Amino acid sequence: GTNGFFLPFKQDYTVEGFSTVVYEGNGATQYIGGTGFQPDFVWIKDRVGTDNHHLFDAIRGTNQRLISNLTAAENTESNALNSFDTDGFTLGSNTGVNANTENHVAWNWDMGGTTASNTNGTITSSVRANTTYGQSIVSYTGNGTGGSTIGHGLASAPTLIIVKKRSQADDWKIYSETLGNTKALAFTTATPVTTSAYWNNTSPTSSVFSVGHGGHTNASGQTNIAYCFHDVANYSKFGSYSGNGSSTGPVVTLGFTPAFVMYKNADSTTS
């Protein structure tokens, strides 16, 4: 079989954590409500066009875009996501997120609502953390020293960490507990890379994650953003499965009905 990783989230409007909102663009300023909480991390995709994925978070600030399907550095995208609001967000006229009459989807996470300085690691980080739902945003500046540690703000060790260098074009790097601390996946490449340069061959702890000397996760003087997650019963689950190539595929038991599932092939050289 072929191994991969997955990360489902449950959508439940009786709790804060995650929600999905679909909307039609109007090509002008519009408020998108109904998230159920003030989102700190918003991932938007045009459902009918070929526009890129647009990722925004409250630490990096409004209109500061990252693109998960590209290696591009963060850029200021005018009139894209203009504000994070109490029960949603406000868009401008940018066609990537608000093309007139086109359908879009926004995936939204509540990352705690407040940014705090975290000095648990050898590199001081800025963190928004929702410890109830095991998810946080971490901003830090690399120092180029292998074995450096970064506070993630969660109560348990992350089982998934998605890192992107903000200040330069560079590939995304994804830590998965299933693959271990010697490997990293990327959104834009196929097979995982094995090297100590990313996680310093060290698993995260309940307070910090480790980075190596490599430029993808710890280039000296370069700014980075990390999205950290761990399992929470009846809300989120991270793991792996082996494919069987059959139309009757494997059953992955989560303990809840997921509203969002992301998976990545971890063996194939082309997927």
- DSSP assignment of the chain, as one string? --EEEE--B---TTSSSEEEEEEE--SS-EEEE--SS--SEEEEEESSS-PPPEEEETTT-TTEEB-TTS-PPPEE-TTSEEEEETTEEEE-S-HHHH-TT-EEEEEEE---S--EEE-SSSB-EEEEEETTTTEEEEEEE--S-TTEEEE---SS--SEEEEEESSS----EEEETTT-TTEEB-SSSSSPEE-HHHHTT----SSEEEE-S-HHHH-TT-EEEEEEE--BTTTB--EEEE--SSSS------SS--SB--EEESS-S--
Q: Per-residue pLDDT for 6 more than 90?
A: no
Q: Per-residue pLDDT for 216 more than 50?
A: yes
> What's residue 1's pLDDT?
44
> What's residue 14's pLDDT?
43
Residues 212, 14: Cα–Cα separation, whole Å: 40
Residues 204, 153: Cα–Cα separation, whole Å: 12
What number is the average pLDDT over the span 50-58? 96
> What's residue 189's pLDDT?
86
Radius of gyration of the chain (CA): 18
Going by their DSSP bridges, the two strands 41-46 and 103-109 should be labelled as antiparallel
What number is the average pLDDT over the span 68-74? 97
Q: Per-residue pLDDT for 55 more than 50?
A: yes
Q: How far is CA 234 from the centre of its chain?
A: 20
Type of residue numbered 212: G
Predicted TM-score (pTM) of this structure: 0.94
Please report, for residues 126, 149, 187, 216, the alpha-carbon distance to residue 141 in angstroms, rounded to integers and kept in the order given: 10, 11, 22, 12
Q: What percent of the chain has pLDDT over 90?
A: 87
> What's residue 217's pLDDT?
97
Q: Per-residue pLDDT for 13 more than 80?
A: no
Residues 42, 108: Cα–Cα separation, whole Å: 5
At CA 63, angle to CA 57 and CA 68, rounded to 5? 60
Question: pLDDT (tens digit, 9 = 90+) per residue, 82-138?
Answer: 999 999 999 999 999 999 999 999 999 999 999 999 999 999 999 999 999 999 999
* Residue 246, φ and ψ in degrees, nearest 5: -105, 155
- Whether the CB-CB separation of 68 and 172 falls below 8 Å is answered with yes
